[in-house]
Structure 1
Amino acid sequence: MMRYGGVVCIALGLAAGSARAEAGATASQIELVISTVAEPDASGAASVELRLLNSGSAPEIMPMPPQIGAELTVDGSTSNITLERAPPTPATVSVPAGGFTRARYTLHVPPDTTAGDAVLAVPGWSAQRVAFAIGGSVSAPPPALADRGAGPATPRRDTSVPQAHLATEDVAPGNAFLPNLSAYAPIYAVYGPGTNSDARLQISFKYQVFGPPAAPDRRESWEQGIHFAYTQRMFWDLGAKSSPFRNIDFMPELFYLAPTIGIGSGVSLGGQGGLRHESNGQSGAGSRSLNTLYVQPIASVDLGSYRLSVGPRLWLYAGSLSDNPDIKRYRGNTGLFAEIGEDDGLRITTNTRFNFGSGKGAIDADISYPIDRLIGGNLNFYLIGQAFTGYGENLLDYNRRMTRLRVGLAIVR
């Protein structure tokens, strides 16, 4: 059951994350609307849907903090809780002029709370209170919060600048772990018949090594830019007997994510650099491995409701290449990332690499669209089409030219 506690409008009074707003030229026109609070499940988790409304004449980029301090009142008893950003809400969202963007947070009801009417409040953001129903008793805390406890509600510290992290006090001393864990490369499963690697699957995550979670444009210290990431790409021969994986590429890396800097209206610069290892875990003739030191600046620009990002990538090979001594001939030392799309709509992403000396290279392209925009609901999946042409779709086949077309589903794009 889902109850609407009225529609609560919270005037943010925030400056947009662009140079225009940072320069103080124009006040933000964004209002935050808490539109629905779902009835909590047995673990006490309840989905809170937010809408960011832009009454201005220009699109705005807004950070969505990973955590927000709040208060929950049940039967006259008030508890400090935390709203946590939930997928698929990104760290920053683009709000089109005269339109809105949805965001989702999760409310965790404290354990041993009995069924009844509840009231949610966000001190420091608004004096209004949102009513919703708790349909059953909560007997245990959700696994993600079992060892943490809930901290005090933290009011917004500066009403003129959006905060990337509003509630750090609710995290237990030491390594917070889950708040510092986030998506990195796309996560998907795609299929295209007729090859010995007709299915392709990928999982990926990154972890901020030091400090509380922070968006690239709202850092408190340089150490918050240090990240560890892990990506695993699997090529599955579904047509073969016993359906074995043809190859699995393991890709851990350590990198520094540079702060995002606004340089003009809707234009920003960022990037990253680090050390990446790639190997396929095989032995003998099928063994492949390499290490690269890379740097990749990225420039982004708003084009109405769309956003264009472009990032050249340069790398050097480090250590032994005995498993694949001629891989430079096929991969080269340069590549290009390019992406255009909407936060909540169509998106096209390409990654290329080339060797200008040998004329060899490859292009990997994705096109994706949210399923929710097609059929409604809250499935949190994307339809994805994927194309590859060139050398080395995977490490095992680094010196083989191939073309692949696949379609499937993604949960991160």
Structure 2
Amino acid sequence: MKAAAFALLLTAAPALADAPVALLVAGVSRGADGVTVDAVMLNDGDVPVRRVVPATIEASAPAGDGAAPVMLRRAAGQAEAVIVPAHGFARVHYLGPVGLAAGLTLSLPAPAQAAAPSAVASAASFAAEPAPYRSADNDGGNHFLANLSAYEPIYAVYGPGTDSDARLQISFKYQLLGQAGKIGPGSPWANGIHFAFTQRLYWNLGAESSPFRNVDYLPELFYLVPARSVTDRIAIGGQFGFRHESNGRAGADSRSFNTIYVQPVGTMPLGDWKLAIGPRLWAYVGSREDNPDIRRYRGNAGLFAEVGQDEGWRLSLTTRLNPGSGKGAVDALVSYPLDRLVWRELKLYAFGQAFAGYGENLLDYDRRTTRLRVGVGLVR
């Protein structure tokens, strides 16, 4: 069944007075455990804003000649906060009791506003990022922890029968200047400068003493361009920067090179799903004496594509290709929130990972491999 759609303007925090957010109830569907209220937060402003999704909200439903109060609770798997892009929207979901009558209409009050500063969604990361980390109990005077946030996915996956059974990835980024998340229109241009660090570990669990086959280190300095709407359905953003890649070894096993790159990304909604896609172009700079033929296997271009739901399935693909040599690779990640499968308080994701092509890690940059692994992750 469908509820009558209507919008309710949320009261903006003072710092976001030029970026009002409206809440639009799109529909209500009935299930075995109650009804699900599907809504979208609309942002007519020129900058993305962060909004808390309250654990519970009050609504009203028809009862006789009047209305009865109804308490709705945030759906399992629904994020506690969302980023609403400029001139865009973010979906939110609530659950109501089984006994709600057909033809339900709701009058929702404004959800509480986020107390933390607004954050800007990175187009390359596709969905709204988790809120920047800050320890309320023990920040120890580290006033800039809010500028630290996740970057690439953080996960651990395992697939037996190879010389790199397990693959682990840790990644973060840091906004070097300005207030956390304050980038884009109306903010100093330098606020877009970020430092990022990603570490990938390839673990040979099947060998005696379980050594790491290789560890790749990827520090980078980049400029983040937040997504901006170009039509009522498409937003474009991205980043460009400098990346160093090395495996920290010496002698014949040493691998390292530097690139400068540009990564535009376009995003658009597909019903309950979102699509993000964009090319990545790079050029090699500096010495390549550890791997002089790296371009033959990695080329100078690749494609990033991601499709999925905020609180459901997500598939991410990263490719690279040298058309001249025919060498390249495809790296894929698929994920699903475990709190929708196991326990609603379990804030982890089930991960599947696949790789086919040349150079899954730097040590094997000129070696063709195929890998399938499964595991869990913290960030996708």
Equivalenced residue count is: 294
Q: Structure 1 301/233 Cα, relative in aligned 2: closer, same or farther at 3 Å?
A: same
Moved over 6 A (4+): 55-58, 121-125
- Indicate if the aligned counterparts of 2:175 and 2:191 stay in contact, CA closer than 8 A: yes
Query: Which TM-score applies when normalising by structure 2?
Result: 0.70
Indicate the residue corresponding to 2:253 in structure 1: 286
**Matches for 1:63-78 after TM superposition, within 5 Å:** 63-64=49-50
Q: Is residue 245–residue 257 contact of structure 2 (8 Å, CA) maintained in 1? A: yes
Please give the secondary structure, in 1, of the residue aligned with 2:200: strand
Matched, 1:240 2:207: yes
Is the alpha carbon distance of 1:55 and 1:280 closer, same or farther for their aligned partners in structure 2, counting shifts above 3 Å?
A: closer
Contact 1:294 1:314 (C-alpha < 8 Å) held by counterparts? yes
Identity across aligned pairs (percent)? Answer: 52
Task: Output the amino acid matched with 1:378.
Answer: E
- Select which of 342, 353, 356 maps to 2:320: 353
In the other structure, the counterpart of 1:381 is: 348
**2:190 alignment partner, one of 209, 217, 223:** 223
How many angstroms apart in 2 are the aligned matches of 1:141 and 1:274?
33
Which residue of structure 1 aligns with residue 72 of structure 2? none
CA–CA distance in 2 between the matches of 1:248 and 1:278? 11
Distance apart, 1:64 and its partner CA? 1.7
Q: Is the 8 A contact 2:22 2:42 kept in 1?
A: no
Partner residue in 1 for 2:23: 29
Q: Which amino acid aligns with 1:191?
A: Y
Aligned to 1:214: 181
Unaligned runs of 5+ residues in structure 1 are: 1-9, 15-20, 32-50, 67-86, 103-120, 126-139, 149-175
Is 1:54 the counterpart of 2:22 in the alignment?
A: no
Match of 1:130 in 2: none
Task: Give the structure 2 partner of residue 77 of structure 1.
Answer: none
Match of 2:230 in 1: 263
Secondary structure of the structure 2 residue equivalent to 1:28: strand
Tell me if structure 1 keeps the 8 A contact 2:40–2:90.
no
RMSD: 3.4
* Amino acid in the other structure paired with 1:12: L
Secondary structure, counterpart of 1:330 in structure 2: helix
- Which residue identity does 2:281 align to in structure 1? L
User: Who is 1:366 aligned against?
Assistant: 333
How much does 1:304 deviate? 1.2
Task: Identify if the C-alpha distance between structure 1 residues 207 and 219 changes in structure 2 by more than 3 Å, giving closer, same or farther.
Answer: farther
Distance 1:217 1:325 in 2: 39
**Alpha-carbon distance between aligned partners in 2 of 1:201 and 1:56, rounded to the nearest angstrom:** 35
Does the C-alpha gap of structure 1 residues 55 and 234 become closer, same or farther in structure 2, counting only changes over 3 Å? closer
Contact persistence 2:159–2:166 (CA under 8 A): yes
Q: Residues 201 and 235 of structure 1 are in contact (CA less than 8 Å); yes or no, is this contact kept in structure 2? A: yes
For the Cα contact (< 8 Å) 2:256–2:291, is it kept in 1? yes
> Residues 357 and 88 (structure 1 numbering): CA distance in 2 closer, same or farther, change over 3 Å?
farther
- The structure-2 alpha-carbon separation of the partners of 1:259 and 1:122, relative to structure 1 and needing over 3 Å to count, comes to closer
Does residue 1:187 correspond to 2:173, yes or no? no
Q: Deviations over 1:102-126 (max 9, x none)?
A: 9xxxxxxxxxxxxxxxxxx97999x
Q: 2:93 aligns with which of 95, 100, 104?
A: 100
Give the deviation of 1:306 after TM superposition: 0.7
Q: CA deviation at 1:100?
A: 2.1
Residue 95 of structure 1: how far off its partner (Å): 3.4
Partner of 1:251: 218
Q: From the superposition, tell whether residues 57 and 412 of structure 1 become closer, same or farther in structure 2 (CA, over 3 Å).
A: closer
**Partner Cα distance (1:123, 1:355) in 2:** 48
- 1:178 pairs with one of 135, 142, 145: 145
**Does the 8 A contact of 1:30 with 1:52 survive in 2?**
no
- Give the structure-1-normalised TM-score: 0.64
SS of aligned partner of 2:335: strand
Flag the 1:193–1:259 CA change in 2: closer, same or farther, 3 A: same
Native 8 Å contact 1:371 1:381 kept in 2:
yes
User: Structure 1 residue 200 and structure 2 residue 186: aligned?
Assistant: no
Partners of 1:341 and 1:364 lie apart in 2 by 17
Does the aligned pair in 2 maintain the 1:91–1:215 contact within 8 Å?
A: no
Q: Within 2, Cα distance between the matches of 1:124 and 1:314?
A: 37
**Judging changes above 3 Å, is the alpha-carbon distance between structure 1 residues 122 and 329 closer, same or farther for their aligned structure 2 residues?**
closer
CA distance in 1, matches of 2:370, 2:336: 23
Flag the 1:198–1:122 CA change in 2: closer, same or farther, 3 A.
Answer: closer
